[in-house]
A and B are shown apart, each in its own frame.
Chain A
Amino acid sequence: MSNEAVIDRIVGRGVPVRGNDIDTDRIIPARYLREITFEGLGPHAFEDDRRALNGAHPLDDPRFEGAGVLVVNENFGCGSSREHAPQALLRRGIRAIVGESFAEIFFGNCVTIGLPCLTTTPEHADALQALIEEAPDTELTIDIEAEQVVTDQGAYPAAVPASARASFLTGRWDALGQLLENANDVQATSARLPYLTGFGGGSS
C-alpha cells in the first residue's frame, strides 16, 4: 500500500458532542440504512438528535462548521455494528474522534475506514470540549505517533491501541490487502478444521 494511506497527523477544528453511551442508532437512524450505498449518509448524521434540539445541536452550530475532530465522552458508538455510523461521520468531514471510551465494533469499523479514535481521560475530554466551546477556532493537531492532541493551550495525552496505531502509521488500516496475501495459509487452516473435514472421518 502506498504511503498516501499513512495517517499520522490530523489537523482541524473540533466539535464537541457531549454525553455518554451515544449509540449508533443516534449517530445514524436506522431508516438511513435502507440504502445500498454509503454515499448519501453525511447529511443525516445525528439527524434525530439534531431535530430534537431544533438547531441547538453542535453539528448545527455555525461556530463548529467544517470541524474535523469530534470530541465525545464515554462508550461512544455502542449498539449496532452498522458501519453506516462511522461512514456518516466520515462523509460529514470528521477525520478523527477523541473521547473517553469507544464501543468495540464501532472502534474497529473506524479503523478499517481510516478514522482514528483516540482515548483520553474524562478530565481531558471535558477540558477539550470546554476549550472548543469557548474558542471554536482552536486548531487541534491529532498526533497518532505521539498519542496526543496538541492545541495552543497545551497538549492532551490521547491513546491509540498499539494495533490500530501501527495500522495508521504504516498505512495498512484497511486489512483486506493483507488478508489476501496468503491464500495458501488460509487453505491450510481450513484443512485442519474438523467441521470442514468430516470431523476426522476423512471426507467433508
Chain B
Amino acid sequence: MANTLLDTVWDLHTVRRLPNGETQLFIGLHLVHEVTSPQAFQMLAERGLRVRYPERTFATVDHIIPTDQQQRPYADGMAEQMFAAIEENVRVNDLPFFDRSTGRQGIVHVIGPELGLTQPGMTIACGDSHTSTHGAFGAVAFGIGTSQVRDVLATQCMSVAKPKLRRIEVNGRLSAGVFAKDVILHIIGSLGVQGGVGYAYEYGGAVLDAMSMDERMTICNMSIEGGARVGYVNPDATTEAYIEGREYAPAGDEFQRASKWWRSLASDPDANYDDVVTMDGADIPPMVTWGINPGQVTGVDDVVPSPEALDGPGRATAEEALEHMSLEAGRPMAGVPIDVAFVGSCTNARLSDLEEAARVARGGRVADGVKALVVPGSQRIRAEAEAAGLHEIFQEAGFEWREAGCSMCLAMNPDKLQGRQMCASSSNRNFKGRQGSPTGRTLLMSPAMVAAAALAGEVTDVRRMVA
C-alpha cells in the first residue's frame, strides 16, 4: 500500500486513540532546555511523578546563556536562577545534560542532530516551536508547550491530532547566491504564515534532494513560521551519511540494519497527499522580509510592496508592518540601511552557514556604525569553525566571534537590539520586539545576505558579491 512517512511513523508510535479522538503518541526522543521546562518539572514533583524514560530525555542550555561573558554566576540573576533550576532538575531525574563543561552544549535543535540523537523514523518533542528542524532527518518532530513537556516527561507520550499532509515540491535548481533560507522564506511568502495550520509539510523535489542536511534543517526549522507544526524531508543517502559515526548513532551491523529501515520509511512515490504544491527553484531570488511576520517577504531585487495592492486582512497587517519598520511602499529593498548584523540561531548557525557568511566576509570590512556578530550554534561548530580559520576571517572583517547560544534571535540573554535599530538577521522571526527592543526592527535573510549587509551597511544583493 502507498504510505507516506507521516502515516508509517504515526502508526508505529500510536499507543491508542483517546476518547476525544486524538492519538496518544509515543515520543521517541525528548529534548529539554532551560526556558520551557522548570514549570514542567515542578508540576511533576507536585504530583509525585518522575521522568518515565530518562534514557530518552536529553537536556541542554541555550536560550538564556550569554554568548560573551560565560562566568558563573551570571550577572543576570534570573538567568542564574533558571540555570540552577535545570541543573537541579537533571540531577534529581538523572538526565543526560549537555552543559558547557561537556563541550557538547549548543542550541537544542543544533546539538540533537549533531550528536546523532535525531534519527529518521522517530517522534521527537521539545518545548520549542522550532523542533520541526529535526524533521530534516525524516523524523516527526513537534514543538510543544510546557504542560505537554510535563506530559512527555511523565509518560513519554502526548495527546495530539494527526495532521493533514501537504507535499511541497521544489523542482529544478537554485541559482548561485540563493540558499535554503531563501527557499523557505519563498515558501512561507507563497503559502502564508497560517497556510500550514493543521498540516504537516513534506518537502521534496530536486532542490531538496540536492541539499545537505544543514540546508534541509534550515527548511524544516521554519515550517512553524508557515503555520505547520511539523515539517520533514524523506531520509536518503545524504541523511545516512550525516548520521554515520555520530556519538548516539547506531554503529556497525546496527547501522546497516538502521539504514535499511530508514530507507523503507520514505513516502511511496504514488502516496496520497491532502495537498501538493510545486514550485521551481530557478524562480527564487535571495529573499528579505520587509514586515513583522516571515510571510511579509520579497526578493532583494524587488520593492517594498504597497498595502493598497493587497486584499482583505493582509492589508491592515501590511500597513501596521510598514509603520513599525518605517519603510515606504515602493522603495527598493536593496539599500535599506542596517545597524546590526546577526549570523546565528537554530535556523542558520551551522558550519555551512558560517562558511557561506565567511565567504562573503573574507577580506571585507564591516561598515562603520554596524555592530556585527557571529554566534555558532554549538560548541562543536565553534571549534570546527575555528579549526577552519573562519573566526579569523570574521574577526579581521570586524565581526564579533561569540560562544554558542540562541543569542539575538529572541532577547532572553544579553544580546538585544537597542531602540529602533534595524537588524539584518539570519534568524527566523521578525515579530515586533522579537530581538529585544519593542521598537527594534528585523530583516530576515540568509547568512550570506547578512554578511553582505554587514559589509555594505545596507541590504545588498549577495549575488553581486559572490559572482
A interacts with B: yes
Residues A31 and B194 in contact, CB atoms below 8 Å apart: no
Contact B12 A33 (CB under 8 A): no
Q: Are A200 and B261 in contact (CB under 8 A)?
A: yes
Stretch from B145-153, B171-179, B351-359 forming part of the interface with A: B145-153
Give Cα A189 to B127, complex, Å: 23
Cβ-defined contact, A175 with B15, below 8 A:
no
Q: Beyond A52-B438, A74-B313, is A25–B432 a contact (Cβ under 8 Å)?
A: yes
A19 interface residue per 8 A CB criterion: yes
Min C-beta distance of A90 to chain B, whole Å? 12
Encoded as 1 (CB less than 8 Å from any A CB) or 0, chain B from 6 to 28 comes to: 00000011111011111010101
Kindly state the interface size class of chain A when it binds its partner: 35 or more
Chain A residue with minimal CB distance to B437? A48
**Cα(A122)–Cα(B312), bound, Å:** 10
Cα–Cα, bound, A34→B34 (Å) = 9
- Complex: chain B residue closest to A200, CB-CB: B257
Chain B residue numbers with a CB within 8 Å of A12 are none
Bound form: Cα–Cα A103–B76 in Å:
32
Q: Across the two chains, which residue of chain A brings its CB closest to B142?
A: A105
Question: Which residue from chain B places its CB closest to the CB of A166 in the assembled complex?
Answer: B20
Interface string of B148-175 (1 = CB under 8 A from A): 1011001111111100000000000000
- B258 in the interface (beta carbon within 8 A): yes
B146 touching A83 by the CB < 8 A rule?
yes
- Cβ–Cβ contact A23 & B36, under 8 A: no
A195 touches B194 (CB 8 A): no
Rounded to whole Å, the gap between the CB of A166 and the closest CB of chain B is: 4
Residues of the A chain whose Cβ atoms lie less than 8 Å from the Cβ of B292: 21
B374 lies within 8 A of chain A by Cβ: no
**Docked CA distance A149–B229 (Å):** 29
Interface: B197 (CB within 8 A): yes
Docked pose: A33 CA to B313 CA in angstroms: 30
Is B447 engaged at the interface, CB distance under 8 Å to the other chain? no
With A81-B128, A109-B147, A175-B151 already in contact, the answer to whether A37 and B433 are too (CB < 8 A) is: no
Do the beta carbons of A36 and B85 come within 8 Å of each other? Answer: yes
Instruction: Please indicate the chain A residues that have their CB under 8 angstroms from the CB of B158 in the complex.
Output: 175, 179
**B440 to nearest A CB, angstroms?**
10
Enumerate chain A residues within 8 angstroms of B15, measured Cβ to Cβ: 182, 185-186, 189
Residue of B nearest to A167 (CB): B20
Distance in Å: Cβ of A169 to nearest Cβ of chain B: 9
Q: Provided the pairs A34-B412, A81-B143, A193-B13 are in contact, do residues A25 and B434 lie with their beta carbons within 8 angstroms? A: yes
Interface string of B241-282 (1 = CB under 8 A from A): 000000000100110011001000000000000000000000
Complex contact B26–A29 (CB within 8 A): no
Q: Which of B13, B161, B254, B293 contacts A23 (CB 8 A)?
A: B293
Q: Is the beta-carbon distance between B145 and A83 smaller than 8 angstroms?
A: yes
Task: Given A21-B317, A193-B28, check contact A83 B147 (CB 8 Å).
Answer: yes
Chain A residues in 8 Å Cβ range of B131 = 81
> CB of A108 within 8 A of chain B?
yes
In the bound complex, how far is the Cα of B227 from the Cα of A103, in angstroms?
7
A186 vs B123: C-alpha distance when bound (angstroms): 14
Q: Is residue B31 contacting chain A, with contact meaning CB distance below 8 A?
A: no
| Among candidates B52, B128, B250, B411, residue contacting A30 with C-beta atoms closer than 8 Å | B411
When distances are taken between beta carbons in the complex, the residues of chain B under 8 Å from A25 are: 410, 429, 431-434
Instruction: Determine the residue in chain A with the shortest Cβ distance to B230.
Output: A104
- Chain B, range 286-317, C-beta contacts under 8 Å to A: 292-293, 313-314, 316-317
**A-B pairs with lowest CB-CB distance, top 3:** A83-B145, A109-B145, A175-B159
A-B contact pairs, 12 of them (CB 8 A): A29-B438, A34-B412, A48-B433, A48-B438, A83-B147, A109-B146, A161-B161, A175-B158, A180-B155, A182-B16, A185-B15, A196-B56
